[in-house]
Amino acid sequence: MVLKVRDLSVARGGVPVLTGLSFDVGAGCALILRGPNGAGKTTLLRTMAGLQPPLSGEITGAEDKVAYAAHSDGLKSMLTVRENLTFWAAVFGQSDITPAVTAFNLVELQERLAGTLSAGQKRRLGLARLLVTGRPVWILDEPTVSLDQDAVRLFEDAVAAHLAGGGSVIMATHIVPGFEAEVLDISPWRATAETRAGASDEAFL
Ligand SMILES: Nc1ncnc2c1ncn2[C@@H]1O[C@H](COP(=O)(O)OP(=O)(O)OP(=O)(O)O)[C@@H](O)[C@H]1O
C-alpha cells in the first residue's frame, strides 16, 4: 500500500496555503511534516483525511483507509472512556477495545466520563481511538500535545507497532519522535497569497 500525493494544492477559507506538493508514504513508513506555524500542516492533513477537498491535484491510496486524530479530540464527553472506545470500534466494524485501553494506559480510567478527564488523559483517549479503527493510515496533527513523558512513550510504542504491522503514519509535530521517520519540510510549497482578510471555511471556529 502506498499513499500518493501528486501536485496537490490546498486552501483554508478559499485562500491557497500550499501549492504543487507531491510525496509518497509506503506501508510501514512514517512521514513527519515540518514547517513554521501557519505553514499549512493542518490544512494538508485535513485534506489528506478527506475533511476538505483539495484545490487541485490528487491523493490516492487514502480511500477508506485513514484514521485521523487532530487538535480537537472529538470525544463524547458524556460517555465513559470505555463507551467512547466501544462506540468508535462499532463505527469502524471492530469490537475489541482491550488493546487500545492497554496501549494508552486507560484501564483505571475506563468508567470515567470523557468530559472529566485531564487534557493529557483526553489526548490518550483520542489516540487510543486510532487503535479501534483498524485503519492502516494514521493522520495525526500534533499528537503529543499535552502528553507527559510516559504517555509520549506509549504513543511512540503504538506507532512503532502500527508501522511494524504494515501501517503508515503521516503526522505534524514540532518534537523529534522516538521512531524512524522521514521528514518533509513543507515550507518550499507555501502559497504566496496572504490576502485572507478574515476568510474562513469553518462552520464553527
Ligand atoms: N479556519 C480557518 N479559516 C481561515 N484560515 C485559516 C483557518 N485555519 C487556519 N487558517 C490559516 O491557514 C493557514 C494554514 O494554517 P494551518 O493550521 O494549516 O497551519 P499549520 O502549519 O498547521 O500551523 P501550526 O504549526 O500553527 O499548527 C494559516 O495562515 C492560518 O492562519
Spatial separation of the C-alpha atoms in residues 50 and 83, rounded to whole Å: 26
Say what the pLDDT of residue 66 is: 95
Number of compact structural domains in the chain: 2
User: Over the stretch 134-171, which tens digit does the pLDDT of each residue have?
Assistant: 999 999 999 999 999 999 999 999 999 999 999 999 99
Of 103, 135, 167, the one marking the end of a domain is 135
Mean pLDDT of the chain: 92
- Same domain, yes or no, for 89 and 150? no
- Structural domain harbouring 36: 1-65+137-204
CA-angle at 167, arms to 132 and 92, nearest 5°: 25
- State the average pLDDT over residues 62-87: 90
Spatial separation of the C-alpha atoms in residues 158 and 103, rounded to whole Å: 7
Beta bridge partners of 24: 4
Position 205 pLDDT exceeds 70: no
- Same domain, yes or no, for 87 and 185? no
Least confident window among 50-59, 70-79, 128-137, 180-189: 70-79
Residues with Cβ < 8 Å from 193, sequence gap 6 or more? 15, 16
Q: Buried b / exposed e across 133-143, counting CB within 10 Å, b at 16+?
A: bebbbbbbbbb
pTM: 0.92
- Same domain, yes or no, for 200 and 149? yes
| Residue from 8, 9, 12, 18 to probe ligand 1 pocket by mutation (most atoms less than 8 Å from CB) | 12
- State the average pLDDT over residues 159-188: 95
Say what the pLDDT of residue 8 is: 98
- Same domain, yes or no, for 59 and 143? yes
CA of 11 to the centre of ligand 1 (A): 9
Q: Could you tell me the pLDDT band of residue 195, with boundaries at 50, 70 and 90?
A: very low
Of 135, 155, 183, the one marking the end of a domain is 135
Nearest CA to ligand 1 atom 26: 37
Position 44 pLDDT exceeds 80: yes
Query: What is the length of the chain?
Result: 205
Spatial separation of the C-alpha atoms in residues 178 and 161, rounded to whole Å: 13
Point out the ligand 1 atom lying closest to the alpha carbon of residue 172: 22
Q: Could you tell me the pLDDT band of residue 51, with boundaries at 50, 70 and 90?
A: very high
